[in-house]
Structure 1
Amino acid sequence: MTDGENQGGVVNIKEATPDIPGWLKTGDLIQIGNHMHLLTRDADTDSSGKASLRVTPYLRQMPRAGTTVITAGCACLMQLEASQNLPRRVDTGRRYLASMTLNFVEKIG
């Protein structure tokens, strides 16, 4: 859970397992609300279970102290890019799918 002030690319957390070097690793994902962030540095917890998580992209909104930070099974809200259409073939009047490639962007807001 978040702890106190968070600034852009740093998320301060508390209540993690104490005294764990490399508790989270560079490249791990975290989720805050509907947003996913990638760790840019390893994060160690101190003796009280606090850590500073350096993330990208930067936080768009500063979470309140006590906001849950998910460290496993992360997800975020996505939508199709505006220019994307689902592929379809209409020989028989029914849609069916042979293969497709879709591009998604994170839904913000």
Structure 2
Amino acid sequence: MTQEYGQAGAPARAPREMNGLAIGAFVLAIVGWCSPLGILGLILGYVAKGQITRRNNSGEGLAKAAIILGWISIAAFLLLIIGAIVGGVFANWDEWRQDWNEHYN
């Protein structure tokens, strides 16, 4: 005896829509490497992550990558600024020491 079932297999799900802001945030985070544009990628990554949660979109990995790259680019930019300041200070250290000795000794 055979038993008949309805449809064969599981119903297919429609693919989720990709969040465009996540793509834009990821692109800005890459382009903004060691520059202030990384901050914009970071902010847009957080906004995209919230939209993805609310709208059930895809692109969560791109949003997370934009957030991580945004924080890394901010840290790299700050290290670049600090390195330029410290490098400028130590480049003139001998001149400053000679001026100090001439004026105060």
Bin of the TM-score, shorter chain as denominator length: under 0.3
Greater helix share, structure number: 2
Report the TM-score when normalising by structure 1.
0.25
Report the TM-score when normalising by structure 2.
0.26
Greater strand share, structure number: 1
Larger Rg: 2
